[in-house]
């Protein structure tokens, strides 16, 4: 029989072990395609850096990072022939692709990770600053900051990664595209911060190459 002091020590040890668990453990709960999984891991790491630069608190950063780690789980429901299509998607195909944000929210439903910030990232990371995004076409600061942050890191990883329909771009080319979309697709303040500390993202990118 453990005494109160031993129980307290055990509780502290359990908490310590939980902190030592892989941050990617949550992905084990979903049967995620390898290429989607690796993309989400990279985006999660970029997101942690950017959220910290945007002066969010520890809880916010932790939840946004988890949201980024799950942001594309809805693509599990999208046919591979669409995700890996070599040519431009037609209108109907793009409509199908856009459903992945809502599919993701359904997959997340009733899970312990279904917290507001995580849900916002999954559902709203394709909204655009100018209101031309999806699924709702909301604009500016009506888009939660967690979704605005992940929209940037998601795009950065997509640009610097090889896809079936494109070669990977250099960090410099990716930055050029991101900056050109400041005030259109992306929050100008977030892009300014990303640009100011771009060396941090380039350093992380080099770890993946």
pLDDT at residue 104, rounded to an integer: 92
Q: How many CA atoms lie within 13 A of 64 on its CB side?
A: 30
CATH assignment of 24-207, among 2.40.110.10, 1.10.3210.10, 1.10.30.50, 3.40.430.10: 1.10.3210.10
Cis peptide before 135, with omega less than 30 degrees from 0? Answer: yes
What's the mean pLDDT when you consider all of the chain?
89
Reduced to 3 DSSP states, what percent helix, strand and coil does the chain have, rounded to the nearest 5?
65, 0, 35
CB 48 within 8 A of CB 200: no
Catalytic residue, from 65, 66, 75, 128: name it: 75
Residue 12 Cα distances to 1, 7, 15, angstroms: 18, 9, 5
Residue 178 Cα distances to 19, 168, 191, angstroms: 34, 15, 7
* Angle, CA of 192, 196 and 199, to the nearest 5°: 135
pLDDT, greater one: 112 or 175: 175
| Nearest by Cα to 33 from 77, 99, 67 | 77
pLDDT at residue 146, rounded to an integer: 98
pLDDT, greater one: 111 or 201: 201
Q: Report the C-alpha gap between 63 and 37 in whole angstroms.
A: 18
Q: 73-82, 111-120, 182-191 — which one is most confidently predicted on average?
A: 182-191
| Nearest by Cα to 102 from 74, 82, 132 | 74
Quickly state the pLDDT bin for 109 (edges 50, 70, 90). confident
Q: How many CA atoms lie within 13 A of 72 on its CB side?
A: 24
Would you call 75 a catalytic residue per the annotation? Answer: yes
Phi, psi of 20 (to 5 degrees): -85, -10
Phi, psi of 35 (to 5 degrees): -70, -35
In sequence order, the β-bridge partners of residue 163 are 166
Residue 16 has pLDDT above 50, yes or no: no
Query: Tens digit of pLDDT for each residue in 114-155?
Result: 578 999 999 999 999 999 999 999 999 999 999 999 999 999
Residue 94 has pLDDT above 50, yes or no: yes
Give the DSSP H or E segment for 85.
none
Quickly state the pLDDT bin for 12 (edges 50, 70, 90). low
pLDDT at residue 126, rounded to an integer: 98
């Amino acid at each position: 029989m453990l005494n109160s002091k031993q129980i307290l020590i055990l509780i502290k040890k359990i908490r310590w072990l939980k902190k030592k668990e892989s941050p990617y453990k949550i992905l084990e709960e979903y049967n995620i395609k390898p290429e989607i999984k690796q993309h989400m891991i990279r985006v999660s790491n970029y997101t942690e850096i950017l959220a910290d630069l945007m002066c969010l608190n520890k809880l916010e950063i932790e939840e946004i990072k988890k949201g980024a780690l799950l942001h594309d789980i809805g693509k599990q429901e999208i046919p591979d022939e669409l995700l890996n299509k070599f040519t431009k998607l037609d209108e109907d195909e793009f409509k199908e692709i856009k459903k992945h944000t809502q599919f993701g929210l359904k997959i997340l439903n009733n899970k312990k990770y279904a917290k507001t910030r995580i849900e916002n990232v999954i559902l709203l990371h394709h909204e655009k600053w100018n209101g031309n995004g999806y699924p709702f076409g909301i604009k500016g600061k009506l888009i939660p900051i967690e979704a605005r942050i992940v929209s940037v890191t998601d795009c950065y990883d997509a640009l610097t990664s090889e896809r079936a329909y494109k070669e990977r771009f250099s960090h410099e080319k990716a930055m050029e595209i991101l900056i050109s979309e400041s005030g259109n697709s992306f929050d100008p303040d977030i892009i300014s911060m990303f640009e100011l500390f771009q060396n941090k993202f380039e350093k992380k990118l080099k770890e993946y190459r």
